[in-house]
Amino acid sequence: MQLPQSIRIVVIVLLAISGHFIVRGLKKFSRLILTRRIREEKGLELSFAHRYPKVATFSTLIVSTATFFIYFLAIGLILKEFKVSVTAYIASASVIGLAVGFGTQGLIQDVVIGLTLIFSDALNINDVVEVSGQIGKVESIGLRFTILITFNNQKIYLPNRNIGTISRYRDGSFRLFVDIQLPEIPDDQVITDSIQSITKGMYSQHKSIILTPPELIGVMKAEEGNWRYLRINFRLLPGQGALIENNFRQRVITIMKKFTPDYQDWMVSVTTKIDS
């Protein structure tokens, strides 16, 4: 039985709207699950994504795949109403057909690399990583894009085929060690108190970047050579090392030159350590 044209138009519209809302519902349900809080035995609360990162990663892939097939099916049903052969539509919309149709093989690369990232455990949801010059937290890994959220709350869409070297930051941070070579005079405690005052001021001013109070490890002696140094441990957000390497280091050098006028810049060194 042939439906009147007006009813067919209504059916087409309903199919399009239904597909759209089903996709939105899936995404909303996924977000609710991933952000659900789980109480640990020690009384700490973690989100589902933090507690089960691999499950969270697979869920984003499933939602991405389901989104593709729902839209694919909805478009096919709509085309059927226009008397377009569903068989021909499916054949022309195969992965290879899509790649050729779009004039690029990027789609195939995105899918293959996206699956490789997940199954090789190279990325997980909530990992803090540096990828393709971008630093941020992994929000999702899909068939086409991996989405990062930067520390400025900017959302970055990275095509999977553009992902090369991946640097992962444990606990979303890295450490910088500042070694300050000490002169023979004045007394070590006088220098330590002055440096500690600068350190506390820096932490107070930049708590959003320096994640924990800096640790003053103390005076240490070099394994080779008759010289001593004061070591300070900073824990920072990834990509924010310039604050210590430039700003803090120059403040320290200025203070040290007040104690010893011939103090050299190279006597204050900064080294990086990424926890693994």
CA atoms within 13 A of residue 180's CA, in its CB half-sphere: 32
- Cβ-proximal residues to 236 (8 Å cutoff; 6+ apart), any chain: 173, 174, 175, 176, 209, 210, 211, 243, 244
Greatest Cα pair distance, the chain, in angstroms, is 101
CA pair distance 63, 229, nearest whole angstrom: 54
Q: What is the pLDDT of residue 70?
A: 77
pLDDT score at 145: 82
Q: How many whole angstroms separate alpha carbon 54 and alpha carbon 126?
A: 10
pLDDT at 57: 66
Q: Is 77 helix (H, G, I), strand (E, B) or coil?
A: helix
pLDDT at 263: 92
Dihedral sign for Cα 49, 52, 54, 59, please: negative
pLDDT at 233: 94
Residues with Cβ < 8 Å from 161, sequence gap 6 or more? 106, 109, 110, 113
pLDDT at 159: 86
For residue 179, give the nearest of 114, 117, 122, 249 by alpha carbon: 249
pTM: 0.55
Q: What is the CA radius of gyration of the chain?
A: 28
What is the predicted pLDDT for the residue at 184?
76
What is the CB neighbour count within 10 angstroms for residue 107?
A: 20
User: Given this model, what pLDDT does residue 133 score?
Assistant: 81
pLDDT score recorded for residue 125: 78
Report the chain (276 residues): mean pLDDT per 10 consecutive residues.
64 74 77 64 55 65 75 74 66 54 59 72 80 83 82 85 81 88 81 92 90 90 81 90 92 92 92 72
| Contact present, 271 and 176 (Cβ < 8 Å) | yes
